[in-house]
Amino acid sequence: MSLLVRSIGELVTNDPSLGDGSALGLVRDAALVVEDGRVAWVGDASHAPATDRVIDAEDGAVIPGFVDSHTHLVFAGDRAGEFAARMAGEPYTGGGIGTTVAATRAASDGELRANLARLRDEALHQGTTTIEIKSGYGLSTADEVRSLRVAREFTAETTFLGAHVVPAEFEGRDDDYVSLVCGEMMKSALPHARWVDVFCERGAFDGDQARAILLAGMGVGLLPRIHANQLTHGPGVQLAVELDAASADHCTHLSDADVDSLAGSTTVATLLPGAEFSTRSPYPDARRLLEAGATVALASDCNPGSSYTTSMPFCVAVAVREMRMTPAEALWAATAGGARALRRPDVGHLGVGAVADLSVLDAASFVHLAYRPGVPLVRTVLLSGEPQ
């Protein structure tokens, strides 16, 4: 079955060998052909071949599906009261994670699945076609395993985050909890996870604990990524580079040495502007990272505490307005950047051979994603070439 997307006013391919030769590989007045779920042809609309089916983009822009490389979507309950208190002046400390752990443990699998399905649908209809989902609100072997099982029903990009915080029942016994995470919990999580993550932060896990947990995961075949330098400066970014982690996430408090290390590595700096927005904190310095040559991704960090948004267009708009990324840099970071952060060369671009995950926008240009913040511009989403 072949499909033609025609009358594309502006096609973002993220393939610099196409179109204007920029990182976005912009092709004007374009068409795109999908065969067997993959991009089979991209070019000038006037040369498009005949196909079985046709979608008319009506001169709108077409962009690769967003690759949201960092979410925490397995949870129950919400923390609207905590958010309201923060907006009235309370600081964010991550201390509310325990509230969500209690609600998640009390929820049935069906409740967790229904909440996740609702959030995944929200994300999908805003153009997210690849999504990473972490555990981390279970924090017992059984609750982490069921969190990952439910997450796996929705994505192959599942991440074991048993090391989110030390749960209340292990208070004062951090080392015992780290042993549990590195041993029985990791072993039980393994069949359901691709990645291992640690919240490396004051009040969560220090550099030595984070190294032990990531090495234990890598020892059984999980790939490392890390919550690094979110609330304070710490060793997380250096650890990420040392272990060749796919991604160091947050990167809000960086030294010059951290920026240089990221720039000289294949570790992606994943920025999560929804978290700074929702905690009213200073944004990470995206320009410093970009100018040093680091690879930057944008992700939602969707979770009920620090960033309760599924919207990648919102994250793009905030990154442009508040972090001084250009619209082109922000779109690349939310698509190709996310794909690099998940080590997925098959998504995040629309070159020939890519998975045909894309959005047709109700706008003449991708720039409108930042220029028209809060407006639902995603008209049609294709997943492997299938309209959703």
96 binding ligand NIG? (CB under 6 A): yes
Token readout for 243 is 């272990």
Nearer to ligand NIG, 228 or 354 (CB): 228
**DSSP summary character for residue 14:** -
Minimum CB distance to Fe ion smaller for 299 or for 382: 299
Distance (Å) of CA 240 to CA 48, 194, 230, 281: 45, 17, 14, 23
**Kind and range of the H or E element at 182?**
none
> Applying CB under 6 A, does 69 fall inside the site for ligand NIG?
no
Query: Side chain identity at 173, as an amino acid letter?
Result: R
Q: Name the minimum Å distance from CB 164 to ligand NIG.
A: 6
CA distance 294 to 320: 17
Q: Which is nearer to ligand NIG, 151 or 356 (CB)?
A: 151
Nearest residue to ligand NIG on Cβ basis: 305
Closest approach of ligand NIG to the CB of residue 199, in Å: 5
- CB-based contacts of 257: which residues, under 8 Å, 6+ apart? 238
Q: What is the DSSP letter of 133?
A: E
The DSSP output letter for 170 is G
CB of 252 or CB of 261, closer to ligand NIG? 252
- The alpha carbon dihedral of 373, 375, 379, 381 has a sign of positive
Enumerate the β-bridge partners of residue 71.
Answer: 302
The nearer residue to ligand NIG, 135 or 306, going by C-beta atoms, is 306
- Name the one range near ligand NIG by CB under 6 A: 26-34, 91-99, 117-125, 378-386: 91-99
Selected range binding Fe ion among 7-15, 105-113, 297-305, 380-388, rule: CB under 5 A: 297-305
Question: Nearest approach, Cβ of 176 to Fe ion (angstroms)?
Answer: 24
Q: Which own/partner pairs from 38-42 qualify as long-range (CB within 8 Å, at least 24 positions apart)?
A: 38/353, 38/354, 38/355, 38/356, 38/384, 38/385, 39/350, 39/351, 39/352, 39/353, 39/354, 39/355, 39/356, 40/2, 40/352, 41/352, 42/11, 42/13, 42/15, 42/18, 42/350, 42/351, 42/352
* Cβ closest to ligand NIG, residue 261 vs residue 306: 306
* Residues in region 98-117 near ligand NIG by CB under 6 A: 100
Site string for ligand NIG, 182-211 (x = CB under 6 A): -----------------x------------
Q: Which is nearer to ligand NIG, 96 or 327 (CB)?
A: 96
Q: Shortest distance, CB of residue 227 to ligand NIG, whole angstroms?
A: 5
Shortest approach of ligand NIG to residue 300 CB, angstroms? 10
Q: Which is nearer to ligand NIG, 138 or 304 (CB)?
A: 304
User: Using the rule CB under 5 A, is 201 a contact of Fe ion?
Assistant: no
Could you say which of Fe ion, ligand NIG, none residue 96 binds, taking C-beta under 5 to 8 angstroms by partner kind?
A: ligand NIG
152: enclosing H helix or E strand? helix 141-152
The CA distance from 174 to 167, in Å, is 9
Q: With binding defined as CB under 6 A, does residue 385 bind ligand NIG?
A: no
Determine, following the binding rule CB under 5 A, whether residue 301 of this chain makes contact with Fe ion. yes
- Our finding on whether 306 is near ligand NIG (CB under 6 A) is yes
Site for ligand NIG in 210-229 (CB under 6 A): 227
Are 157 and 192 within 8 A, CB to CB? no
Residue 276, interface with ligand NIG (CB under 6 A)?
no
**Residue 147 near ligand NIG by CB under 6 A:** no
Counting Cβ atoms within 10 Å, is residue 190 exposed (0-12), middle (13-18) or buried (19+)? middle
What is d(CA 270, CA 245) in angstroms, rounded to the nearest whole number? 12
Comparison of 210 and 275: residue with beta carbon closer to ligand NIG: 275
- What is the pattern of x (binds Fe ion, CB under 5 A) and - over residues 209-248? ----------------------------------------
Rounded CA separation 244/336 (Å): 19
The tokens for 32 are 């795109």
Residues of this chain that bind ligand NIG (CB under 6 A): 72, 94, 96-97, 100, 199, 227, 230, 275, 301, 303-307
Binding site for Fe ion (CB under 5 A): 301
